[in-house]
Structure 1
Amino acid sequence: MIRYNLSCDNGHGFEGWFSSSDDFDRQSKGHLVTCPTCGSASVGKQLMAPTVSTARKKDARQALVMDQAQKETITKLRDMVKTIRANAEDVGERFPEEARKIHYGEAEQRGLIGKATADEASALIEEGIEIAPLPVLPDDTN
């Protein structure tokens, strides 16, 4: 995984994790990388110092220490994701196909969640189908 320091055209800084540089490029081109503060899809990489791996660093674990405002934000995001999941049909790998059916009037309008590759997501966006990734929150991966 590659961690990039990113910023939007409104000057908000944040970080993003990607499987490769190409993965960032594909997601950025498909407007899938958006600012968590303002939602802008005009996002770019910022200058970063290289990470040097040492034996001491390998023993350390990454941790996030949150202040109260960050904890409240994570709780709100978690509640939002829970509400979305409770009110949407999980179609798994069929997400691109089902999203197209709804968009083109071949299936009833309903909320969907599922999986799509970066290329599939880009294609959906290019067709004018509104999609958004669900955030992965700290407790979801720990």
Structure 2
Amino acid sequence: MSLCSLEPEGVSAPQISNPTPHTLDMMWVTPTRVNGIIVEYKIYENGTQRDTVSVDGNMTTMRVDDLIPYTLYTYAVAACTIAGCTLSSSSAPVRTTKAFAEGIPAPSLVSKTPTSVFLKWTPPQLPNGDILQYSIQRRLQARHSLPL
């Protein structure tokens, strides 16, 4: 007597929670009809298999990392038996949270008079969210007078 293994059926979309700027948590349920032994789950991010990430067939949660701040993601899982894989539908879209801007170039300064300065800057390379304002701060150099 031999057991026949088929592809799983009834694979539900994963649930996404706890987004941060660089991580989120993903949870899914076992297929409604396993049709064999689940050997692995493949993780898909925005429609593409995520760097050949696969999770042991006994696990139904994972922390996704190396994400880009303030970016929209969708996820799907493929439940796999030795006969093949069945892909779920996509999760509801989730946006990672904002983070401080990165790659902020120094401003250029031009002083045409002793009492004024012209500032020019470019936006950050990675805004990591909406830039609501720029803040300019002036630092005065200490002046020490020497006794005569």
Q: TM-score, with normalisation over the residues of structure 2?
A: 0.21
Q: TM-score, with normalisation over the residues of structure 1?
A: 0.22
Structure whose residues are more often helix by fraction: 1
Structure whose residues are more often strand by fraction: 2
